[in-house]
A and B are shown apart, each in its own frame.
Chain A
Amino acid sequence: MPELNILEAVRLGMDEEMERDERVMVLGEDVGKKGGVFGATEGLFAKYGAKRVLDTPLTEAMIAGAAAGAAIYGLRPIAEMQFADFVYPAFNQIVSEISRMRYRSNGTFGLPMVIRMPYGGGVHGALYHSQSNEAYFTSTVGLKVVAPGTPADAKGLLKAAVRDPDPVMFFEHKKTYRLFKAEVPDGDTVVPIGKADVARPGTHLSIFCYGLMRTFALEAAETLAREDGIEAEVVDLRSLRPLDTEAILASVEKTSRALVVHEANRFGGFGAEVAALIAEEGFEHLDAPVTRLAGPEVPGVPFHHNLEDWFMISPAKIVDAARALAAY
């Protein structure tokens, strides 16, 4: 089993899918010769050529909309938004068209396509290179939304996304790209969309997270175990829509305390859905109110490192929130 970082795992996932299925193509800004601004498509242009690894004009509506057209025609496009922050010109295509195509055509037209987007902060990217905008998409019925937090999940979920008959928004936390290496199973290992992963078993409280927050939550859990004797269960949701409600409820049944962590702001964020689910269906198991730890209510991550540190979730902030919850 090779040790890869998340960026390499995404790249290998695309490479293997392109090799396996000639209908798979990649399109986006700077994905060709440059290999993507983060290097996610490095080497693919040389291997598969300029048509299957297509540098598009600087036009996101075209990237999403043409990917949809190509999917209708029988291709399996992987569209890249250079940053999740720049998806909005494509929002109309994604929300009005891509998410609704199957339903409105009464099942006649499906859109097997993937939209990959680097998201998240902590990279000195400020308001427009740091956004965690997953909630716009998780609240859009007809889309699937995944956010892997490990190299193995990045590769396995990407394969699942490419093979999925429906459109999948694939969120890659850009701070995790080169954060660590971990083993990735060889070969054609698909991680099914819709299944959470218990990243660390525990008994005292559950931390629900995804993306970069998985790493932070695991770090926090170690601190809590060492310093407080609190055994936190870390549940990496991985797939935000569909959501593994069974895994969430099973964990709450075990620990009776739930902390939901994400980087996006709290109000109307994805954590609200998880919290509501637990309140509605896991109420009898709870010993404390469901708690959310989320980004502050400002319109974006501010730039200066003082301000960015203030904004960002950290392992220390998770430890604090978990202690308060455990003490309730």
Chain B
Amino acid sequence: MVAKETATTPPHVELGLTDDDVRAMYRQMLLARAVDERMWLMQRAGKIAFIISGQGHEGAQVATAWPLRPGQDWMAPYYRSIASAITFGMSAEDIVTAHLAKGDDVSSGGRQMPGHYGGAPYNIVSLSSPVGTQVLHAVGIAMGAWVRGEDVVTLTSFGEGTANQGEIHEAMNFAGVHRLPVVFVCENNGYAISVPLDQQVGGGNVAARAAGYGMTGVTVDGGDVLACYRAARDAHARARAGDGPTLIEAHVVRMTSHSSDDDQRRYRDPAEVEALKERDPISIFGDQLRGWGLLDEEVDTQLRADVKAEVNDASKRAEARPDPDVATALRHVYAEEQHDA
């Protein structure tokens, strides 16, 4: 009886996720994709200056952000992290507002380029452009929690090109020394703009570096949402238990050019680009859900319609927001009231 039940238990149940959980994860991926696609349209229409996309990364991002506790844990993401950010509390409207650089954009009030997610209300650290700098911030937040003995886990993400920056080494080493409660997620899409993995990562394996820092390293297929979730859940538990940091390397695909300023046809074989569709995490996860009887065409259509309506709404509201007022341009260089901080 027990054996039989185990054999038929769908994998998500085994992981402690309900049917609704996995459908919600799927919806989150759809939402991230829909926002992303909308912003490409807006970029082409000249409404936004620039877009850097998370298409192909959504499975890994939603799954690794899923165990985080909004309002308690922290996140230091990167420029592809639309799905991570919306899973951790940002709304589609926040994302579109930031891309339109509106005056009340939660990330920067229109001061930063698109793709620089952040927001104090969400425990998402304001992000800059020089790659990898956020990883040390994540480690510092984790150090703060460790110093105070508080139950906080920090997740930080970055690409495999970024993984080679010196600061990443410093961050991982420090996290390893003190077994800090941090989860490093390397979203390996095989390219850093045009430079492929074999020209970028000595040995080709980022997760393997974890051993050198005395932390757990895990490699997952970013198309396998539940595998990503398992890795993240375990990393989160490890961090909370005081068992130190984890480095998760998720193999994902970059389905678009690096950004709207790039044309990947210059350096990527057309057949390779064409084949990416088969590794689209949304279709892979959708197929899995159908296989487990959790999704049919009707539900899928409904979810997609919902998500589309949400993005339409978000865009409309975002576009109606005010542009930044030039009179504010000199504000917030320093604290406006000098006080003991």
**Residues in chain A within 8 A of chain B (CB atoms):** 29-30, 32-35, 37, 55-59, 61, 85-86, 88-89, 124-129, 296-299, 302-304, 306-307, 310-311
Contact = CB atoms under 8 A, between A and B. Distances in A.
B329 A126 contact: no
A126 B166 contact: no
B194 A55 contact: yes
Interface stretch (B55-63, B128-136, B149-157): B128-136
9 contacts: A32-B195, A33-B266, A58-B200, A124-B50, A126-B112, A126-B129, A128-B129, A296-B329, A307-B110
A128 B128 contact: yes
A89 B165 contact: yes
Contacts of B112: 126-127, 303
Interface of B: 49-50, 101-103, 108, 110-113, 128-131, 161-162, 164-167, 192-195, 199-201, 261-262, 266-267, 323-326, 329-330, 333
Contacts of A298: 329-330, 333
Contacts of B333: 297-299
A129 B259 CA distance: 14
Contacts of A37: 193, 261-262
Contacts of B110: 302-304, 306-307
A33 B267 contact: yes
A9 to B, nearest CB: 22
Contacts of A56: 195
Given A30-B195, A298-B329, A126 B164 contact: no
Contacts of B193: 29-30, 34, 37
B272 to A, nearest CB: 13
B166 A89 contact: yes
Contacts of B201: 57
B324 A126 contact: no
B130 A89 contact: yes
- The 5 A-B pairs with the shortest beta carbon distances in the complex, nearest first, are A128-B129, A34-B194, A58-B161, A304-B110, A304-B101
Nearest to A82: B193
Contact of A126 (B102, B111, B199, B323): B111
Contact of B326 (A85, A303, A310): A310
B199 A128 contact: no
Contacts of A59: 164-166
Given A303-B108, A303-B113, A306-B323, A30 B130 contact: no
Contacts of A32: 194-195
Contacts of A310: 326, 329
B329 A302 contact: yes
A129 B115 CA distance: 13
A298 B49 CA distance: 22
Contacts of A299: 333
A301 to B, nearest CB: 9
A124 B200 CA distance: 29
Contacts of B165: 58-59, 89
Nearest to B263: A34
Contacts of B130: 85-86, 88-89, 128
A40 to B, nearest CB: 14
Given A302-B324, A303-B111, 13 more contacts: A34-B266, A55-B195, A56-B195, A57-B195, A58-B200, A124-B113, A128-B130, A299-B333, A302-B110, A304-B110, A307-B110, A307-B329, A310-B329
A298 B330 CA distance: 6
The CB with the most chain B CB atoms within 10 A, among A30, A297, A304, is that of: A304
Contacts of B261: 37
B113 A126 contact: yes
A89 B266 contact: no
Nearest to B200: A57
Nearest to B327: A310
Given A30-B193, A89-B166, A127-B112, A304 B161 contact: no
Contacts of B329: 296, 298, 302, 307, 310-311
Contacts of B199: 55, 57
Contacts of A89: 130, 165-167
Contacts of B111: 126-127, 302-304, 307
